[in-house]
Amino acid sequence: MNVNLMHGAGGEVMGELLKTLTAFKNNNAGGLGLESLDDGAVIPVNGTNIVLTTDSHVVRPIFFPGGDIGRISVCGTINDLAVMGARPIALTSAMIIEEGFEISGLARIVASMDQALEEAGAAIVTGDTKVVERGSLDGIIINTAGIGIADRPVRDSGLREGDQIIVSGTLGDHGISILAYREGFDLGDQLRSDVAPVWGMVDLALRAGEIHAMKDPTRGGFAAAINEMARKSGVSILLDEEQVPIRQSVRSAGELMGIDPLQVANEGKVVMGVPAADAEAVLAAIRSHPLGRDASIIGEVVTGSDVIMRTSIGGERFIEPPLGDPVPRVC
């Protein structure tokens, strides 16, 4: 058996590969480690919870409506810290660049990264650069790692019966917009990536009430994230289709291309499980932030082991975890 593109697409097939890639015996530094397969690790140091995460970015195309590989490399790492409840502090940046890549393109990428850092209140403090022969890779690959500080780390496995499920905005924007752009569909400004650092919005939510679980729905989209949260927490989730925010342009483009917006990556959204008593306050806090204007309570946590959607016509359907993100190379 050999590795294929599905092994990197964030779904059930990738889970099989991770069994090999995470088979380290030395996998924990005293807090939360690789064994949890969460969005980051927690390392307690003298009473402080340091959160550490890392991510590699292989986006195609490198520049796309709403962002580029530089912006997504910063936002992806900051967002992994944020959903662990951590204020981002510092990032690393390692670039592998193909011979012949335009210097003007690199300057544009760096400027984009710097803008995202400013939005999040973080900094890139060290890095590494390698150049490989022409044809060795598709332009540029960027790896970023980040550290943050969490007063109380949040897991993706902390859902409890009775929790309300909140999504911070419309789903499917990033994956659908990139695929449409690749395929040459001209939809003007109707389709744009949602790539953005979410820490400011998450910070407001954390101040407004208790959050039992969080995850950013990147590879495999919302469907992968919500199933992983339910499975790890040992619960079932009931969703209301009419409350799930999806832009009409994204829904239409998805239908045209045969892609479910719930199964494609988002790069500026958060899924939360919040106690019912705090749900309205947390929702209001999220909506007070520019990134959270379309936030919605979309379901509740119940006893069981499935994710079920109550449809707009009165039926029910299972939301299954995808085998992989149907749009590869988006993050």
Residues 46-90: pLDDT tens digits?
A: 999 999 999 999 998 999 999 999 999 999 999 999 999 999 999
pLDDT(120) > 70: yes
Residue 39 has a pLDDT of 83
Nearest-CA neighbor of 72 among 220, 265, 253?
Answer: 265
pLDDT(323) > 80: no
**What is the arithmetic mean of pLDDT over 120-131?**
97
pLDDT(162) > 80: yes
Question: In angstroms, rounded to a whole number, what is the distance separating the alpha carbons of residues 72 and 195?
Answer: 6
Residue 170 has a pLDDT of 98
19 contacts: CB under 8 Å, gap ≥ 6:
none
Question: In angstroms, rounded to a whole number, what is the distance separating the alpha carbons of residues 250 and 254?
Answer: 6
Tokens of 63: 């520049």
Say if residue 113 is exposed, middle or buried (CB neighbours under 10 Å; 0-12, 13-18, 19+).
Answer: buried
Around 178, how many Cα atoms within 13 Å sit in the side-chain half-sphere?
A: 28
Question: In angstroms, rounded to a whole number, what is the distance separating the alpha carbons of residues 100 and 43?
Answer: 40
pLDDT tens figures, 264-320: 999 999 999 999 999 999 999 999 999 999 999 999 999 998 999 999 888 999 999
**What is the arithmetic mean of pLDDT over 203-211?**
98
User: What's the whole-model pTM score?
Assistant: 0.93
311 contacts: CB under 8 Å, gap ≥ 6:
241, 317
pLDDT tens figures, 268-281: 999 999 999 999 99
3-state secondary structure of 73: helix
pLDDT(100) > 60: yes
Residue 25 has a pLDDT of 82
Question: In angstroms, rounded to a whole number, what is the distance separating the alpha carbons of residues 127 and 92?
Answer: 5
3-state secondary structure of 244: coil
Question: In angstroms, rounded to a whole number, what is the distance separating the alpha carbons of residues 266 and 30?
Answer: 31
Q: Scanning the structure block, which residue is given the tokens 């309300």?
A: 164
pLDDT(321) > 90: no
**What is the arithmetic mean of pLDDT over 32-45?**
86
Question: In angstroms, rounded to a whole number, what is the distance separating the alpha carbons of residues 105 and 140?
Answer: 10
Tokens of 67: 């962002």
Nearest-CA neighbor of 306 among 297, 316, 298, 318?
Answer: 318
* List of domains in the chain: 5-150 (3.30.1330.10), 164-318 (3.90.650.10)
Mean pLDDT (the chain) is: 92
Residue 188 has a pLDDT of 65
**What is the arithmetic mean of pLDDT over 96-106?**
96
Residue 7 has a pLDDT of 54
**What is the arithmetic mean of pLDDT over 162-183?**
94
pLDDT(37) > 80: no
Confidence of residue 103 (pLDDT cuts 50, 70, 90): very high
Which residue type is seen at 89? I
For residue 285, what are the β-bridge partners? none
Residue 300 has a pLDDT of 98
Say if residue 9 is exposed, middle or buried (CB neighbours under 10 Å; 0-12, 13-18, 19+).
Answer: buried
